[in-house]
Amino acid sequence: MKVLVLYDYPASPGGLATQGALLHRGLSEMGVETFAANFESAQEKEWYYRWFKPDVVVGVGYWGHTPQLVLHPQTFGLTAVPWLVADGYMANYREVLDALPLILVTSRWVKDVYVRDGLSGENIEVLPVGCDTDSFCPRDPKDPKVLHVRDAVGVAPDELMVLTVGGDASSKGAQEVMQALAINDHKAPPYKYVCKVWPQPRTETQNLIDMQLALQLGIDKKVVYTSGVISRNFMPYLLAACDIYAAPSRLEGFGMIQVEANACGKPVVSIKAMGPLDTMVHGHTAFLAGVAQEIRLREAMLGDESGFPAGQRVTFKRSRIVDYRASVHDIANYLMDLMEDPALRERMGQAGRKRAVELFDYRVVARRFVELISKRLGVS
């Protein structure tokens, strides 16, 4: 089997790039002939097509990347297998995707979104995102590398650290977490809520909105927003530094950092919807807050990023769920349980670690990929 993996290569620290890089690494370690190329580099992709002649071209992205991940390799007569996430709505490329022999998606929820929006689902298989459980692993709280992370974000030795990580924090449920912490504030043990976000104009604006909310809630002295570029080498220590990872996300097709937090032996507070239904086990590895609100749209404006002319208006026959909000009161109760009970944190963290190793280790995912390709495409 010869596989060309298309993703944001060389890998940036982002989720999609990590997804592709770990598949590439897992396949290589299995002895599969495999190379990686940037999904947007037409010239380099064609170079691999001509001399490597891959049996399968697997591309990591979302449905809007169909031209780069599917149409381009098909132009050269190659078999394309996209490995897709969803953004809450699939607006285009239905005929192209439905005609493929195999589509991989990151969770059952992603499959449900694609079926809801017009795909048959007969060619869709769920393949979870891999996790490097060698790097993302439990660490001694007294490890200097862990202690220096806590010190850098202003968490005192006697304080609990609740952590959220994302491109921005609000989309990961930070506003709901802050409201929950405000409910608990008068009775909770000493804590800091740390939000690690990615530096970009959109995030800077959202950070100001979020910190204004923290001020209004009266917990601004206990909320820390930190923005900056970090590598995948730093992430395991950031997660190891926290006591609770909180991400009741508004839109989550998988929840890679939630799985990584579990792999580090940390309990997770998430949402009872979307990808976390596959990755987290309520009451065992995580607490899943109920859905308090579904955000629905009756129309959307799309452009060339989706294969439409700029300003294309799409009206739905029925409103579509495009976002969720987790129950603040559920989050408050679950956070309080975890903050007050170190043994509960330890027990859930150990269960999360065990499940991450068994189901989401990148080597397990690579083996599952090979099995699916062999079964669905007859390639060995």
Task: Identify whether 321 is part of a domain.
Answer: no
> In the chain, which residues have pLDDT < 50?
none
Give dist(CA 17, CA 257) in Å, integer: 13
Same domain, yes or no, for 246 and 109?
no
Mode of pairing for the β-strands spanning 286-289 and 268-271: parallel
pLDDT in tens, 98-127: 999 999 999 999 999 999 999 999 999 999
In the chain, DSSP assigns E strands to 2-7, 33-38, 56-62, 80-85, 103-105, 124-126, 160-166, 191-197, 223-227, 244-246, 268-271, 286-289, 291-302, 312-326
Give the angle 343-348-353 at the CA atoms, nearest 5°.
Answer: 125
Please state, in angstroms and as integers, the Cα–Cα distance from residue 22 to each residue in 78, 111, 123, 231, 258, following that order. 23, 22, 23, 15, 16
Q: Residue 58 has what pLDDT?
A: 98
Same domain, 260 and 117: no
Residue 318 lies in a domain: no
Q: What is the pLDDT of residue 319?
A: 84
pLDDT at 313: 86
> Do 113 and 230 belong together in one domain?
no
Identify whether residues 353 and 365 lie together within a single domain. Answer: no
Residue 309 lies in a domain: no
**Count of other CB atoms within 10 angstroms of residue 215:** 12
Whether residues 100 and 232 fall in one domain: no
Residue located via tokens 């990686």: 36
Q: Are residues 209 and 332 in the same domain?
A: yes
Looking at the fold, whether 90 and 183 belong to one and the same domain comes out as no
Q: For residues 271 and 331, state if they share a domain.
A: yes
Total residue count of the chain as it appears in this document = 380
CB 15 within 8 A of CB 252: no
Beta strands per DSSP E along 137-238: 160-166, 191-197, 223-227
The predicted pLDDT at position 201 comes to 85
Query: What DSSP character marks residue 130?
Result: P
CATH number reported for the structural domain that contains residue 29 in this entry: 3.40.50.2000
338 lies in the same domain as 365: no
Residue 190 backbone dihedrals phi, psi, to 5 degrees: -55, 135
Is 150 in the same domain as 106? Answer: no
Residue 335 lies in a domain: yes
39 in any annotated domain: yes
Do 26 and 133 touch, CB atoms closer than 8 A?
A: no
Residue 214 is assigned to a structural domain of this protein: yes
Give the separation between CA 359 and CA 336, rounded to whole angstroms: 29
Please give the span between the terminal C-alpha atoms of the chain, in angstroms, as a whole number. 5
| Domain span at 280 | 144-290+327-360
Instruction: Judge whether 236 lies within some domain.
Output: yes
Query: Residues near 8 by Cβ (< 8 Å), separated by ≥ 6?
Result: 14, 16, 17, 20, 38, 39, 60
CA angle 175, 133, 5 (to 5 degrees): 90
307 in any annotated domain: no
Same domain? 116 vs 250: no
CA 106 distance to own-chain centroid: 9
Q: How many domains does the chain have?
A: 2
Token readout for 230 is 């970090």
For residue 312, the model assigns a pLDDT of 80
CB 6 within 8 A of CB 68: yes
pTM of the model: 0.95
164: which strand partners? 195
Same domain, 365 and 333: no
